[in-house]
Structure formats: structure tokens, C-alpha cells
């Protein structure tokens, strides 16, 4: 039976105290990975994975989740700028369903429209990083950006 996708509030509610969330920003070549703190207040860049076969990526995500006591996934949903869901959003939804099934971890999708461009702007304006170096860090920073937005938006009042 397929595991459903959750909204952020439901996903947070499924976590035991001290468990974390993994943020994933799936690109065509790499998957940016971010990790929340145990209080679910802050997201930090964690690393990136080479995008490959689902089974291999699921094994890597499961291993990170196990090491970091992460019990849920927040995956970037690439909506169009007008908020509509095109083929890329459907592909991300399908991949997230399959990854959640393969890892046994509940997942939520989060609008990631501006994460990569915001991070790129920050790295150009504030850090003055070369294009190649920027490409190496943008995935994990974009994952942290989208995870932080999801944490902020779902924080209990």
C-alpha cells in the first residue's frame, strides 16, 4: 500500500520528541540534502547526493536518516511561477511517493519555486563565490532554504 504524502503540520505531528526532518531538493543531477535541528526550528545544509536509481538514492537517504535520527522527509515541489503544477511538479510528486515507500519515511512536499534563485543571489551578492563553487553548494543550501521555509510555516502557534 502506498504511503500518503502529508502536509507539514501532519508530518511534524508524526515525529517523536528529538526526531529531525530531512529536506531534499531533487535536481536533475544532484539531490541537495538539509537537516533540521531536534527542536524543528533551524534547517542546515547537510550535503548532496548524486541523483541515480531510486533504490540507490533511497538507501542513501535511509542511511542519513538513520545516522541523524530523522523520521520524515520534506521534498521540494517545483511549481510554475504562477503556482500551477506542471510536468516537473508531477515528476517530483511521483518521485517523492516512491522514495517515501522505499525508505518507509513519511514525506511532505514544499513549494521550492524561489529556493535555488534566492540561494544563488545570496552566494553572488554576499559571498562572491565562483560559478563552479556555487554549483557545488547551491543544492544543499536550496534544500536548507526550502526546509527552513517549511519549518517556519508549520511552527505551532
Q: Is residue 15 part of a domain?
A: no
What does the radius of gyration of the chain's CA atoms come to, in whole angstroms?
A: 15
pTM of the model: 0.86
Q: What is the pLDDT of residue 86?
A: 86
Q: Is residue 89 part of a domain?
A: yes
Range of the domain at 103: 26-154
Q: Is residue 16 part of a domain?
A: no
Q: Is residue 7 part of a domain?
A: no
Percent of the chain with pLDDT strictly greater than 90: 58
CB-side neighbour CA atoms (13 Å) of 147: 32
Number of domains in the chain: 1
DSSP H or E segment with residue 26: strand 20-26
pLDDT tops 60 at residue 1: no
Q: Is residue 13 part of a domain?
A: no
Q: Is 38 helix (H, G, I), strand (E, B) or coil?
A: coil
CATH number of the CATH domain containing 58: 3.30.420.140
b/e string for 58-79 if b means 16 or more Cβ within 10 A? bebbbebbeebebbbbbbbbbb
Amino acid at each position: 500500500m502506498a504511503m500518503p504524502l502529508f502536509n507539514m503540520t501532519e508530518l511534524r505531528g508524526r515525529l517523536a520528541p528529538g526526531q529531525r526532518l530531512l529536506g531534499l531538493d531533487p535536481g536533475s543531477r544532484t539531490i541537495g540534502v538539509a537537516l533540521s535541528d531536534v527542536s524543528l526550528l533551524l534547517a542546515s545544509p547537510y550535503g548532496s547526493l548524486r541523483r541515480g536509481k531510486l533504490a540507490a538514492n533511497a538507501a542513501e537517504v535511509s542511511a542519513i536518516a538513520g545516522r541523524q535520527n530523522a523520521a520524515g522527509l520534506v521534498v521540494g515541489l517545483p511549481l510554475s511561477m504562477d503556482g500551477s503544477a506542471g510536468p516537473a511538479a508531477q515528476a517530483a510528486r511521483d518521485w517523492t511517493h516512491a522514495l517515501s515507500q522505499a525508505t518507509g519515511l513519511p514525506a511532505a512536499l514544499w513549494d521550492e519555486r524561489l529556493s535555488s534563485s534566492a540561494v544563488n543571489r545570496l552566494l553572488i551578492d554576499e559571498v562572491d563565490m565562483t560559478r563552479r563553487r556555487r554549483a557545488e553548494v547551491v543544492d544543499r543550501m536550496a534544500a536548507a532554504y526550502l526546509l527552513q521555509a517549511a519549518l517556519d510555516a508549520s511552527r505551532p502557534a
